[in-house]
Chains A and B, each alone.
Chain A
Amino acid sequence: MALNTELIGKEYAPLTVTVERDHVLRFARAVAEDAPVFVDAEAARAAGYPDQLAPPTFVTTMQIMASAQIVSDPELGLDYTRVVHGEQAYEWHRPVHVGDSLTAVPRIADISSKGPLEFLVIAAEIRDSAGEMVVTARTTLLSRGTAGSGR
């Protein structure tokens, strides 16, 4: 089943998450980040930050939650067992730190195909509680062998 290109541009429900110290520590350990700013609030403050920093790719934890509603949207027609992660881009306006309350608004930025592959691009703007942009994320998922088969 080919993906429904009519959904290009569709914005999904925002997701708000508070960045917890324990979660940041577990994530930092899981990606072998041992720089003091990621594991020690005092070291982060000494470096000029309000609190312990989250490793840069920590925002993926929010994206996974926020994009769940897209990949499972029955209107889209995505078979998640055929999906691989093709590309990931981030632009940071500032680092994320413990205590941040972040809101992600995910949307389908593009759907395209090339041969048997389909490309689903999910974009998300992530802002803090003051409404300031913190990071923009762009995720390209590849759906294998689904192009040109119906719909």
Chain B
Amino acid sequence: MSSRVRLEDVRVGEAIPGASKVVQREDVKAYADASGDQNPLHQDDAFARGVGFPGIIAHGMFTMAHVVKAVTDWVGDPGALVAIDVQFRAVVFMDETLEAGGEVTAVDPETRTATLSVWASVERDGKRVLAVKNSRAQVLLS
């Protein structure tokens, strides 16, 4: 029950290893079933087109889960995750590759915590589109 990352080893500006996932239709269906969010925007292409998207989109919380995974894989203990605040800025379409990651922005020796700037992005038409930005997480260090 402790972070495998030691306060003394963390530097501001350090990037954490990311998480990567090709988002497919069956992933979004599995997420709908596991989470209980059965909004047709995530399952019905005709419905999604009706509200202006080219097809179904991934759940924001699916994207967020990958951001959380990048952070907890880094600290090595889910119990070390204190808080996260994520802003959803772009949707994610099927067959896009979701990348999630973060960077240490502050370290507090008093509380033995690190604050990270966290993000999620996809490549779309040769550009990097941020699905999650201006977001941060706080973790306990050992």
Chain A interface residues (CB < 8 Å from chain B): 23, 26-27, 29-33, 35, 37-38, 47-49, 53, 55-57, 60-61, 64-65, 80-81, 84-92, 94-95
A119 to nearest B CB, angstroms?
A: 12
Instruction: From the candidates A56, A65, A81, A86, name the one contacting B88 in the complex (CB within 8 A).
Output: A86
Identify the 7 closest CB pairs spanning chains A and B, nearest first: A31-B65, A48-B1, A30-B34, A89-B85, A85-B60, A30-B30, A27-B34
- Is B17 interfacial (CB 8 A cutoff)? no
Starting from the known contacts A64-B36, A95-B81, 17 additional A-B residue pairs (CB-CB under 8 Å) come to A30-B30, A30-B34, A31-B31, A32-B21, A32-B65, A32-B69, A35-B73, A57-B68, A60-B35, A61-B34, A80-B39, A85-B59, A85-B88, A87-B85, A89-B83, A92-B82, A95-B79
Interface size, chain B (Cβ < 8 Å):
35
Q: How far is the CA of A43 from the CA of B121 in the complex (A)?
A: 32
Q: What is the interface of chain A mostly: helix, strand, loop, or mixed?
A: mixed
Q: Are A64 and B35 in contact (CB under 8 A)?
A: yes
- Is B27 interfacial (CB 8 A cutoff)? yes
Instruction: From the candidates B21, B30, B72, B88, name the one contacting A29 in the complex (CB within 8 A).
Output: B30
Q: Are B87 and A86 in contact (CB under 8 A)?
A: yes
Given A31-B31, A37-B78, A95-B78: A88 and B83 within 8 A (CB)? no
A-side contacts of B81, CB under 8 Å:
56, 92, 95
Q: How far is the CA of A28 from the CA of B21 in the complex (A)?
A: 14
Instruction: From the candidates A26, A32, A65, name the one contacting B66 in the complex (CB within 8 A).
Output: A32
Q: Are B83 and A90 in contact (CB under 8 A)?
A: yes
Q: Are A91 and B65 in contact (CB under 8 A)?
A: no
Q: Are B61 and A88 in contact (CB under 8 A)?
A: yes
Q: Are B72 and A35 in contact (CB under 8 A)?
A: yes
Given A33-B65, A56-B72, A86-B87: A49 and B1 within 8 A (CB)? yes
